[in-house]
Each structure stands twice: as structure tokens, then as C-alpha cells.
A and B are shown apart, each in its own frame.
Chain A
Amino acid sequence: MAFYSSLKKAHCSFFIVMCVGLFACNSENKASLSANSIVYCSEGAPEIFNPQLITSGVTVDATSKQLYNQLITFNADNSISPSLAKSWHVTRDNKKITFYIRKNVNFHQTNFFTPTRALNADDVLFSFNRILDKKHLFHQVSGGKYPFFQSVGFSELIQSIERINDYTVRFTLNRADSSFLANLATDFSVILSKEYAEQLVKQNQMEHIDIHPIGTGPFKLKEYRTGSFIRYNPHEQYWDEKTTLKQLVYDITPSNTGRLTKLLTGECDISSYPIAHEKIKKNPKLALDNVTAFNIGYLGFNTTKYPFDNKLVRKAVSHAINRQAILDTVYFGKAEAATTILPPSSWAYNKDIPSINYSIKMAKNILEEAGFTDGLTIDLWAMPVQRSYNPDAVTMAKLIQADLKLIGITVNIVSYNWHEFLRRVTLGEHQSVLLGWTADHPDPDNFFTPLLSCGAAETGNNGNFWCNNQFDFLIQSALATTEINKRKALYMQALHILAEELPLLPIAHSKRFQARSIKIKGQLLNSFGSIDFKGVSKN
């Protein structure tokens, strides 16, 4: 008896102690730790810690502005401003660009790497040669694919990169390219450490360059537990204004409700892509921010695969989809209907571009004309994560499923986790896919070349695999000139081809939303590219 009752007593007292402990002194002690730390609920896990290698927003958000810097960057007013390059000079023919690199910029010091020198021209050369030079020691590390740079034709564009002296680098281009500087200012053109790379070669761990990253950014990576969280510590020797944060944690929470719950319970301070906006607005402790993002959500057709290799089928499907209903249901009326891939705020936009109208009758006729009289079954891939251009792809897919049923097309909805999804889309396993694109810089070319050029088709970056020589010629000519009106006219022609060929059906341009606790101050969202924690603080 003694045994059992004493055991039980022990249980009970332990239990009571635990409960008392939990509720009595939890809050005040935790306050000291959380005062200068931010937990950010992100919607997905990064694929790798080097944005040169990917185009997915999740990875860019976790790496570009946090771990790295670019040579140049965008200002709040979308003009290009200095970053690692303190100034630059462009020759009159637009073919030679010289960058003067900032001195005393330190790389991260971590337990696996201690830098002995500051940033210099070698690092810049290393970072770009890795992408351009196929024989470069690091080119094939992590797969050898640099989708953004391949899609904008970087290697054809750049003739050479020279090191003039320790702090001067010159890019020589084969032809003038009006979007070149903008491309260098994107999240993808980050500067890596050559010294670190050399150390890795010695240690025979070259792949670590993209997994255990070293950069010059305001934060350094402390710990990444796959698919679970990322922990950043501040970079003490950061060259620009240092962050006030002691810790930055990305809590990877793919579930929409999970992010909202954590925000409501205060387990995270900021949540990406929040749902239930009304609920957040009503809560006095929370704030909802938004920023007009340059983006497009679209339904992409795999133009190399049956049945969407047939233009008529693409057309019929486009006519059959009730896009207004999608705007109301999926975007809750908070997005603009897209007539073409360019958002109306772009200077190249023109409202005269023809848009496809909603008509079941026309859809049926066209489908009959194409010879599909007794129905058709297609796979529709719906991306599993929320993006600003598509907050709920699965619901959108369901609506499309119902729409297409009316013209006799049966739709199977397919979804994988984001990682796997992108990998398989790049391989072209899908027939049609709900995807989107967020611009990295204000130049309209960013909607054309990375998305619809033949170069993009090669990498499978866009899921269309569409390559049209005439279209390619138009967008390349538009890049070769700096005259705005000429470019406008060329883009207009390109958009007409697009409306005729329909490699994708534009659906919506939407804002990017973010919810935060009112304790968080500072600008996190940008119109272009990734989030930036540099100026964010907590009080």
C-alpha cells in the first residue's frame, strides 16, 4: 500500500508544482528574452540558403535581404541606390559598367568560418563567375542551375567581368540592356565570400557554401532545423545601420490557420500571408499591413503536353473560366482582375490590350472545333502555399473544376508540398498549373523575359515551356533600347501575341499582406522582391 499511495502522492505534488510553475511566473521571465527577439511565421521552408539558385519567394524571403547584400539595391521610391557598391559608372553606349566597391564591409563570423579580410573585388568576381562560367569550380555545386540568370540570358549578355583593382570591378556587355542594373539589384544577385569558398575547397565540403551560408547581410544564420525553424543572430560587424534585434526566428508554419493561431496567441510577432483579414483588423493587438506588389497570378498551360499543346483547347478553357467569381471568392474582392500579365501600375501597361471574355458558349464551340466533342480529363496542379498573387490555389482550382465541368472537361486537382511541386513543375510533369510571378524590379521586362522567353522555357521556370521566336525577338529588341516609347510599342506587340497564343491565362494582380503585432515597428514589406528585417524593431 505504501508504495502505491506514496507514488500517487508524488504524482499529485509534481502535477501541482508543474501547474503552479506554469501559470505563476511564466510571463515576466519570458519577457526578458522576447523583448528584442522577433518570431516570424513564414509560410514555407527555404530550399537552400543561396538565392542565386532559385526563384521561389519563400527562399528569397529567408535569405536575400537577411543574409546577403547586392551591389546595388532599390530605394523606397524604386530608384536604384548604392549598397555594396558605393557608386557606379555607365559608359555612354551602355555597354561598360564600373562598380566602386565599399571598403571595410565584413563577412559573417560564425563557428565554422572566421573571415580574415573585408569584402573586395575578388568576392564580386567569384559570385558572378560562379553563375557565368560553366567551368568554374563552384558552378556545378548544388545542381548548376541558376534559373533567374538563365531566364534573363545573363551569360549571353555579359562579355566579361574584370577586376580593375581591389575595390573596382567592370562589367562589359555584349549589347546594351536597359534592365541590366535592375537585374543586378534584384534579390538573386547576392555577393558571396570567396575566402569562405576557398576554405570549403580545402575541407572538401563545397556544397556547404549554399547550406551554411556566409554573407555580408545584417543577420547571420545560427541554426536551421529542416522544415521547422531558422534562427538568425545579428551580424555584429554589419557595415550599415545595425539591427536592434538580438534574435530573429523564422517559424516555418505552412498551415494558414496555424499561422493565424500563432499570431492570435502571440507565439509569433509577424505572420506572412495572413488569412481572415477582418478578424485581424478587429483585434486591437494586431495590425494588418499591405503593399502593392507587382505580381500576376495565372493559370499556366504546359504547351508541350497534350491537350494544351493545342491552342484551341487553351482558348476554350480560358473562355470557360469565370474569373470574376475567382476574384470574389479567392481574393475576397481585394485584387485587380488581370487582363494581361502586366499590372496596370507598370508604365508599359496599356488598357487596349485585348482580354479574353467569359463565355461558356464560345468555349464549347471552340472545344468542338478542336475536336474534343466527348469530353476531356486534365490535371490541374494547385500550388500548396499562399502567395500574394494567389492566396488559396486549391480553392481556385475547385472553382475552375466546377467551371470546366460545364464544358465537359473533368479536372483532377493535384498538389504536392511546395518544394516537390516546383521541382515537378520544372520537369514538366503537369498539364496545367496555378502559379504566379512577383516582379523583382520595376522594369516591365521582369514580367516578360523570366516568365515567357525561350530561355525561361528551357529552365521550365514558368511551367509553360512556351517558346515563340517572334515574341522573343520583340522583348529582346525592347531591351536593346532605352527609349520608353519605343519599348512601350514593342511590349504592346508582344502582349498581342500573348493574347493570341495564350500560353497562360492571367487571373489577378493582388496586394501582398502581412499581419503583425502592434509592438513591431518598421518597414518589412517591399513592393519588389523579398522582405527585409533590417529596419524592423520591437518595443
Chain B
Amino acid sequence: MLLFTLRRFNLFLFTMVLLTILSFSLSFLFPGEQITNISGKINASPESIELIALHYGKHESILSQYWIYLNHLFKGDWGLSMTSQLPILDEIYNHLPATIELTISALFIAMIVGIPIGFIAAINHRKKSDDLILSFAMIGYSIPIFWLGLLAILIFSIQLGWLPSAGQISLLYEIKQITGIQFIDILLSDSPYKWQAFQDASSHILLPSCVVALAPATIFIRLARTSMLNVLETHYIKAAMAKGLTFRQIIYRHAIRNAMVNVIRDVGLQFANLVTLAMVTEVIFSWPGIGRWLIESIYQRDYTAIQGGLLALSCFIFLVHIFTDFVYATLNPLAREKNRGSR
């Protein structure tokens, strides 16, 4: 396990280096002055530009410039947003938690719904219900997310009036931002309407997270189905059958656990995809997350924001990636063994 951890840590370092190089080079690639792009100070006078340039080591070699940039990142100085002139790190702190909330709950829904359905499809392999599930999965996978979001609002918010259409919580609830994760903030707050606020926040997150969850859920259906089919063909299942266990027993005691492990392995890979969907969904549902903020930033040519957002969001995805790797490794000793050998 130690070796496994070390390997992951190594990979994490490598990724961070690559990502920071990418975001550093973006400041050169984006239109306009590199110094403005990296610091975000748009209305600086020539003298103060010179000062900022010194600050960022503009006159030194590119390598030491990169090193200085890294130092800035670690110190928490990510530059200013070109439009709001607020520190990027503050903006990320304001927006990222909402995205984390949305993506994690969507991932949760997608797994809860997708994996059991996938297992059902596998158990009923080559029957009507299998076909039905597969065709549903195909459509779910093909629907453009922005269209789905609009239809969901039309049906559930306007026609049925069940769920609200926009935002994280009704603005009437005054919740102080402490951690940024709305649900935790509500529980920490001393509002007399705590419980209502909690309900309200839950009803707000339901629709967008279901919309985000649809496509990943269909992928989980397929993954779970394939994985279950593979498991059902293994020798130990046959052995269990020979022992005379009922089909139900075999599925519950042996097959689900083993099939599950294989699905978990792919969760991390699916996450990047899920974040893409979440970004668009945030726009449709006016969810105050980092995706909407990034898309706004591009309209406003806010290059500092794009760099910072890219860095923060990719880090987040990568951390989730590594986290699921760990979960997988804990659940499946074989994975740890395998990683010791050559890959």
C-alpha cells in the first residue's frame, strides 16, 4: 500500500507540474500583455506595470519566471480577476464549492441509479428488459445536456411546479458563507429557518444534479452490465453454482461485490466527463459554480480567471481521480499487487 501511495503521489506531482506549466504558458498564449494576463491588473499605469513585471521576474529567464509563478501560486497569489478585480483565489473559493456539491451529488445519483440498473440488465442478459435498458442508456447518452436541462425546467418547474428552476437556495434564506458547501453552511448557521433552508437547498439541487447525472448514469449502466457479465462467467461463480447456491445468493454474496469493484475503477475516469456536463448545466440552472464563472470569464476575456479556473478545476478532478483509485485499491487487493509490477 505504501508503494501504491508513493506511485500515486508521484503521479500527482507530475500532473501538478504539467498543469502549472500549462497555465503558466497560457499567460503567453492569450492575447494581450503577458504581465497583464498573469496578474490581472488591467488599469495599471506604466510605472506600476514595471513594478509588477519585476514582481513576476519578467527580466529573468523563462525557467526562473516559472519558478516565481509557482511561488506565487503557493503563496495564494493567483492574480486578480480582470473583470471584478477580486483575487482569483477568492473567486475560486466562492465558486468551486458549489460545483463540488453539484458534481458529487450528481455522481452519487448516477451511481445509485446506474449501477443497480446495469446489474439488472446483466442478470437479464439478452432478454427484453436488457434491450430496453440498453436503448434507454443509448438515448440518455445522446441527449444534448443543455436541451435536457431546458426540458427538465419546463416539465418539473413550470408545468408541474415541483422543483425550483434556478440557483442553489432561495435567496430569502440568509446563509453565511463559511465552508462554501451550502449544506454544511446551513447546518452551521444560526438561522431560525435552518431546517426549511435545508429542505429548500435540497429541492434546488435535485433537478440540476439529476440532469448532470443522466449521461454518467447511462455509462454506469453499461459499465456495471459489462462488469457483471464478466463476473458471471468466472470460475468462482460457476463453483458457487455447483455448490448449489440459489441464483439470488450468488448474485448478492459474490457477483455484486466483485462487479462493483470493477465499476469503481472507472468512476474516476468518468469524472472529467461529468464536470463538463456540470459546467453547461450550471449555465442553464444559474448555479453559482465555477463552470458558469469560467464561461462568463471567456465572454469577458478574463484571462486570469480562465488560467486560475483551469488549474483549480483540473486539480479537483485529479484529486477525485486519485481518491477513487485509493478506494479501488482498498477494495481490491489485486490492484495493489498489479501496480507493483510493470504497467
Does the CB pair B172–A265 fall under 8 Å?
no
B300 touches A33 (CB 8 A): no
Stretch at the interface among A314-322, A412-420, A445-453: A412-420
Chain B residue total in the interface (Cβ 8 A): 38
Distance to closest chain A CB from B291 (angstroms): 14
Task: Indicate if A347 sits at the interface (CB-CB under 8 A).
Answer: no
Question: What residues of chain A lie closer than 8 Å to B253, measured between beta carbons?
Answer: 1
C-alpha spacing A420/B171, complex, angstroms:
26
Which residues of A have CB within 8 Å of B86? 226
Decide if B158 touches A265 in the complex (CB within 8 Å).
yes
Q: Are the CB atoms of B166 and A11 closer together than 8 Å?
A: no
Instruction: List chain A residues, Cβ under 8 A from B324.
Output: none
Q: Could you say which residues of chain B place their CB within 8 Å of the CB of A229? A: 171
- Which residues of A125-150 have CB atoms within 8 Å of chain B's CB atoms? none
Is B166's CB under 8 angstroms from A262's CB? yes
**Contact across chains for A265 and B257 when beta carbons are under 8 A apart:** no
Contact A39:B166 (CB < 8 A) given known A29-B193, A261-B158: no
Q: Is the CB of B300 within 8 A of A420?
A: yes
Of the candidates B158, B162, B164, B260, the one whose C-beta lies within 8 Å of that of A4 is B260
- Would you give the 0/1 interface string for A142-179, flagging 1 where the beta carbon is closer than 8 Å to chain B? 00000000000000000000000000000000000000
Chain A residues with CB under 8 Å of B133's CB are none
Binds B, one of A15-23, A77-85, A370-378, A466-474: A15-23
Question: A461 in the interface, Cβ–Cβ < 8 Å?
Answer: no
Please determine whether B252 and A5 come into contact, CB atoms closer than 8 angstroms: yes
Q: Is the CB of B170 within 8 A of A267?
A: yes
Q: Does A282 contact B (CB under 8 A)?
A: no
A354 contacts chain B at the CB level, 8 A cutoff: no
Bound CA span A22–B195, Å: 11
A-B pair number, CB within 8 angstroms: 95
A488 to B: closest C-beta gap in Å? 44
Q: What is the CB-to-nearest-CB distance from B90 to chain A, in angstroms, rounded to a whole number?
A: 10
Q: How far is the CB of B59 from chain A (nearest CB, A)?
A: 30
* Cα of A4 to Cα of B251 in the assembled complex, Å: 12
Q: Whose C-beta in chain B lies nearest to the C-beta of A12?
A: B112
A30 touches B164 (CB 8 A): no
- Is the CB of A340 closer than 8 A to any CB of chain B? no
Look across to chain A and name the residue whose beta carbon is closest to the beta carbon of B81. Answer: A226
Q: Which of A33, A34, A228, A419 contacts B83 (CB 8 A)?
A: A419
Q: Which residue of B lies closest to A226 (CB)?
A: B84
A39 and B199 contact, CB distance less than 8 A = no
In angstroms, Cα B199 to Cα A399, docked, is 47
Q: Are A30 and B165 in contact (CB under 8 A)?
A: no
Q: How far is the CA of A417 from the CA of B171 in the complex (A)?
A: 23
A-side contacts of B193, CB under 8 Å = 29, 33
Of A255, A265, A417, the residue contacting B157 (CB under 8 A) is A265
Q: Which residue of chain B is the closest to A249 with respect to CB atoms?
A: B171
A261 touches B199 (CB 8 A): no
Asked whether B299 lies within 8 Å of A39 as measured between CB atoms, the reply is no
Is B206 an interface position by the 8 A CB rule?
Answer: yes
- Determine if B278 is an interface residue (Cβ-Cβ < 8 Å): no
Residues of A within 8 A of B157 (CB): 261, 264-265
Of the candidates B161, B171, B174, B202, the one whose C-beta lies within 8 Å of that of A18 is B202
A1 touches B257 (CB 8 A): yes
Q: In this assembly, does A37 line the interface, its C-beta being within 8 Å of a C-beta of chain B?
A: yes
A22 and B202 contact, Cβ closer than 8 Å, known pairs A1-B257, A33-B173: yes
Among A21, A261, A416, max chain B CB count under 10 A is at A261
- Chain A's closest residue to B111 (CB) is A11
The answer to whether B196 touches A262 (Cβ under 8 A) is no
CB contacts (< 8 Å) of B266 on chain A: these are: none
- Mark each residue of chain B from 254 to 277: 1 if its CB lies under 8 Å from any CB of chain A, else 0: 001100100000000000000000
Q: Give the residues in chain A near B112, CB-CB below 8 Å.
A: 11, 15
CA distance A264 to B159 in the complex (A): 9
Q: Is there contact, CB below 8 Å, between A261 and B153? A: yes
Residue of A nearest to B173 (CB): A33
A39 to B200, CA, bound (A): 16
Q: How far is the CA of A227 from the CA of B164 in the complex (A)?
A: 20
**Within 8 Å of chain A (Cβ to Cβ): is B296?**
yes
Cβ-based interface call for B129 (8 A): no
B193 to chain A, nearest CB (A): 6
Q: Does B97 contact A (CB under 8 A)?
A: no
Interchain nearest-CB distance for A18 vs B (Å)? 6
Residues of A within 8 A of B140 (CB): none
In-complex Cβ contact of A417 among B158, B252, B300 (8 A):
B300
Are A25 and B171 in contact (CB-based, < 8 A)? Answer: no
| Interface of chain B residues 204 through 242 with chain A (CB within 8 A) | 206
Chain B residues with CB under 8 Å of A255's CB are 286
**Does A6 make an interface contact (CB < 8 A)?**
no
Interface flag for B167 (CB, 8 Å): yes
Chain A residues, Cβ within 8 Å of B172: 30, 33-34, 37, 39, 247, 249
Residues of A near B94 (CB, < 8 A) are 225
Q: Is residue A251 within 8 Å, beta carbon to beta carbon, of the partner chain?
A: yes
Inter-chain contact B199/A26, CB cutoff 8 Å: yes
Complex CA–CA separation, A265 to B156 (angstroms): 10
Q: How many angstroms from the CA of A221 to the CA of B47 in the assembled complex?
A: 37
Question: Taking the complex as formed, is A398 at the interface, i.e. its CB lies under 8 A from any CB of chain B?
Answer: no
In whole angstroms, how far apart are the Cα atoms of A225 and B170 in the complex? 14
Interface pairs (6), CB distance under 8 Å = A1-B253, A5-B252, A23-B162, A30-B170, A247-B174, A419-B300
With A11-B112, A258-B166, A261-B157 given, can you name 10 additional A-B contacts, CB distance below 8 Å? Answer: A5-B252, A22-B199, A26-B203, A30-B172, A33-B172, A225-B288, A251-B167, A261-B158, A265-B165, A267-B164
Q: Which 6 A-B pairs have the closest CB atoms?
A: A29-B196, A249-B171, A265-B157, A22-B203, A261-B165, A37-B172
